[in-house]
Amino acid sequence: MKIKIITALMIVLLAGCTNLDQKFYDRVTPETFFKSEKDIKAALYRPFTHARWYLGGDRWKLQEYTADQFAITTKGRHWYNGGENERYHYHRWTAEDNWIWETWRGTLMGVALALDAKSDLSKLDYSKFALTQADKDDHVNQLNTLIALFYLYGLDYFGGLPIFEALEGSSLPRNTDQETFNHIEKLLKEAITKLPKKQAADKEEEGAFRAAGAAALLARLYFNAEAYIGTKKFAEAQKLCEDIIAGVYGPYSLDPVWNGVHGFKNNLSPEIIWNIPSEFNKLQYDWFYADFYHYNTRQYFNVDGGANNGAHLQPSRTPAGALYKTSFKLGSPYEKFNDADLRKHPYKYTGGGNYEGMFIIGPHLTPEGDIIRGGEEYNNQALIFVDQVGRFSEVGPGKKYASVAELPSRMSEGEENTGVRLVKVPIPNRTDNNLRWGADNPAIRLSEIYLMLAECKMRASDPGGAATLINDVRKRNFVGGADPDPVTAANLDDYRMLDEWGIEFLGEGRRRTDLIRFKKFTTDTWWDHQASESFRSRFPVPTRAISGNNNLEQNPGYGK
């Protein structure tokens, strides 16, 4: 089996992810390889470890750096990266760009790994391992759900994909958007009926797919169906969301506190529908750390390990301090949070696994209150993070700019202190270092179902019902549930709905999809970004994939 997996992986890597012929170099078969339940679990878990990688990194980048909430500005001598970050921000990417290749490759590699495990487990007599047919159905349909997840993300990024249901075949062409949609739908519908339901509200989540997880993915498929296949399926999405909330697939409820779904014990949150476990020095939910934080932010967190000082929120203010949201409706992510929102507080670890806030903004100080100093534009000066983009260090007598009013604000004009930094995954200090990366990745949570249902109701001319659902999610973010700016039937429109998605799911790798669903991804403007060509709603098939398989057709707009 090990040889088989390695062979499949090498084929996926070297042949554009669609040449799936296998060569067997020994006589190991599933029936002879598996000796215990431990071996079965190892095979089951392998594609889930791929999913842990897949839901971060380049997939996250394609969702967030192409949209209106995050950016990697050039900061002096750092982060120009051959113009890569600007290409994504300005919607000028090409079929040669690496994030796109890694996402294509990773999508179909995930399918191949899950199919490989499914093939092996399907051949086993589970009774020989003191396991039941129900256990086998559970394992096989968890893998079906995982296959559907990879195809769903791939459909979202690229449109139709090569559909394969076994690891035999050579240079498969792309299936149509509709065929890919139908394949995902079929897998999830079957999984919903065969996966067990959550049995107890206080049951700890350990990364296994349950019926609600498959139902949530099917709801996502229907929710975005118009973008995928040109047909609206909001009514189908609404029914699934109503059933999930009503407990048809098990007892789930909104977490009563804002950080319950993100904290160190979020595996116990009643809101989690599917998580990806994380544990210090094992499979860690930590990919973002290096890019998000300043080199010296380790002093702020009081931890070992520096970062690269790349990503930040797009600015809410001009260099002169005026709010951008008076000029355009998208973007300005930090200022979209109400000042009374508990999440808007600066991040501070208070000990014992407790923390407050989720942003780094203003003077950068150690936990003891000492000044943290810069090392680039503000070398040996106090580091102060600003919700602006501009070369403030170049303003003054004898410098490039006479006043702040002259400063341009664009992707090329960052500094080391540019932009608010997000701390959505809590980071403890050295004293509690055993908690580090103890927060799981909450990949599907009930608040998403609430907002999906709210948007479906809004689209079905029930803004009052939509507002109630949104406010159910919002109220935990304010002291005593006193929300100073609740959603109402009168103030709910497309932009307010997008604001609510952006606030609740800031940094969770979905923003591009939400903008596309509202037809604003290529038509609207936001900070340093103008409308782009409509074909940019999908990414190109990577040149490297087509080079390995000339049966692959390129997406419209990207040439041959």
In angstroms, the first-to-last Cα distance of the chain is 38
Predicted confidence (pLDDT) per residue in 459-479, tens digit: 999 999 999 999 999 999 999
Secondary structure tally for the chain: helices H, strands E: 18, 10
SS3 of residue 363 by DSSP:
strand
In whole angstroms, give the CA distance from residue 126 to residue 120. 12
What mean pLDDT value characterizes the chain? 93
Residue 293 has pLDDT above 80, yes or no: yes
Residue 43: φ, ψ to 5°: -65, -40
Res 316 pLDDT > 80: yes
Distances (CA, A) of 309 to 75, 290, 312: 9, 7, 8
How far apart CA 380 and CA 382 sit, in angstroms, is: 7
* Of 270, 276, 140, 151, nearest in space to 217 by CA: 151
pLDDT at 6 over 50: no
Instruction: Enter the tokens of residue 506.
Output: 């800031």
* Burial degree of 2 (CB within 10 A; 0-12, 13-18, 19+): exposed
pLDDT for 25 beyond 60: no
CA distance 374 to 416: 7
pLDDT at position 122 over 90: yes
Give the model's pLDDT for residue 22.
42
Determine if the pTM surpasses 0.75.
Answer: yes
**Contact status, residue 67 vs residue 505, Cβ threshold 8 Å:** no
pLDDT value at 17 more than 70: no
Supply the DSSP symbol for 386.
B
Question: What phi and psi values does residue 80 have, to the nearest 5 degrees?
Answer: -70, -40
Place 29 in a pLDDT band, splitting at 50, 70 and 90: low
β-pairing verdict for 421-422 and 359-360: antiparallel
Cα 234 to Cα 406: distance, rounded to the nearest angstrom: 47
Distances in Å between the Cα of 470 and the Cα atoms of 447, 473, 476, 509, 511 are 9, 5, 11, 20, 18
| pLDDT above 50 (res 24) | no
pLDDT in tens, 529-556: 999 999 999 999 999 999 999 999 999 9
- Angle between the N-to-C axes of helices 463-474 and 494-504, in degrees from 0 to 180, rounded to the nearest 10: 20
Q: What does the alpha-carbon distance between residue 15 and residue 165 come to, in Å, rounded to a whole number?
A: 18
Looking at residue 306, its pLDDT comes to 84
At 191, which amino acid appears?
A
Question: Does the structure show a pLDDT above 70 at 508?
Answer: yes
Q: How far is CA 104 from the centre of its chain?
A: 16
Is 76:9 a contact under the CB 8 Å cutoff? no
Was domain 1-195+534-560 assigned CATH 1.25.40.390? yes
Two tokens at 270?
Answer: 């009643």
Q: Pick the residue with more confidence: 29 or 150?
A: 150
Per cent of the chain over pLDDT 90 is 89
Question: Which residues belong to CATH 1.25.40.390 in the chain?
Answer: 1-195+534-560
Q: Rg of the chain's alpha carbons, rounded to an integer?
A: 24
Task: Judge whether 270 and 256 are in contact, CB under 8 Å.
Answer: no
With contact defined as beta carbons under 8 Å apart, do 32 and 76 qualify? Answer: no
Q: Give the separation between CA 328 and CA 428, rounded to whole angstroms.
A: 37
CA–CA separation, 306 vs 295, rounded Å? 5
pLDDT in tens, 479-490: 999 999 999 999
- Lowest-pLDDT range of 200-204, 218-222, 234-238, 358-362: 200-204
Query: Looking at residue 32, what is its pLDDT?
Result: 67
- Find the DSSP H helices in 65-132: 84-89, 98-122
Q: Which run of H or E residues covers position 319?
A: none
Any idea which residue has 């999405």 for tokens? 237
Per-residue b or e along 119-131, where b marks 16 or more CB atoms closer than 10 Å to that residue's CB: bbbeebebeebeb
pLDDT given for residue 26 in this prediction: 43
Residues whose CB falls within 8 Å of the CB of residue 319, separated by 6 or more in sequence, listed in order:
388, 389, 390, 392, 404, 405, 407, 409
Q: Give the model confidence (pLDDT) of 70-115 as tens digits.
A: 999 999 999 999 999 999 999 999 999 999 999 999 999 999 999 9
pLDDT given at position 202? 86
CA 536 to the chain's CA centroid = 19
- Taking the C-alpha atoms of residue 187 and residue 501, their distance in angstroms, rounded to an integer, is 27
Place of tokens 């608010």: 420
Q: Could you report the per-residue pLDDT of 408-452, keeping only the tens digit for each? A: 999 999 999 999 999 999 999 999 999 999 999 999 999 999 999
Q: What angle do CA 236, 240, 245 make, to 5 degrees?
A: 145
